[in-house]
Amino acid sequence: MIVKTKKYKLETGTYIKQGLKNIFKEQWWVIFIAIAIACGYFWIPSWWWISMALLAYALYWLFWVIQFAGVTQMEQNKVMFEKLSYEIDSRQVLMKINSKQGMPIKWEMIKKAQIKEHAYILVLSKAQFIHLPFKIFHSQNEIKFIETILKRKGLVS
């Protein structure tokens, strides 16, 4: 069975928010580095330790915000934010710009998948993912079929 979706345009705001959520889930431990820097206060009592730890942590997140916002502005990534349709089967996910142009993504390229309240998120890397809201599918059976594929491939628990 091949699931053919409606055309969908990934909004830049959705991309940035989801990208930051993925980074936070993957690199949650960075807060401990900031805490370790702040603990320098106990070695040499000065508020500089705490303020620099907060600044470093804020700059770390600012770096990722700039990275994700920059991706939305780059010419080679404009395709990600155009209206695309998807054809999904047990072999691959085919991202289609039109009936003649498309890009296949093998299931082996997808590191993990998340099932959200209103969408599937297929994570390829830290900054690359496919956002498939349930509204682009034609029926509830298609949504269940995709979930079955994701479970069979071991991408979601």
Round to whole Å and give the CA distance between 152 and 157: 10
First and final C-alpha spacing in the chain:
22
Distance CA 47, CA 40 (A): 10
Asked if pLDDT for residue 157 goes beyond 80, the answer is no
* Alpha-carbon 111 to chain mean position: 11
pTM assigned to the model: 0.84
Looking at residues 124-131, what average pLDDT do you find?
88
When pLDDT is averaged across residues 5-11 and rounded to a whole number, the result is 92
Smallest Cα–Cα separation from 10: which of 116, 95, 117, 101?
A: 95
Sign (positive/negative) of CA torsion 19, 9, 84, 151? positive
Q: Where are the alpha helices (DSSP H) in 1-139?
A: 12-26, 30-38, 47-73
Per-residue pLDDT reduced to its tens digit, 71-125 = 989 888 888 889 999 999 999 999 999 888 889 999 999 999 999 999 999 999 8
**pLDDT at position 151:** 92
Q: What is the DSSP letter of 6?
A: P
What is the side-by-side order of every strand in the sheet holding 129-133? 112-115, 119-123, 129-133
CB of 1 within 8 A of CB of 71? Answer: no
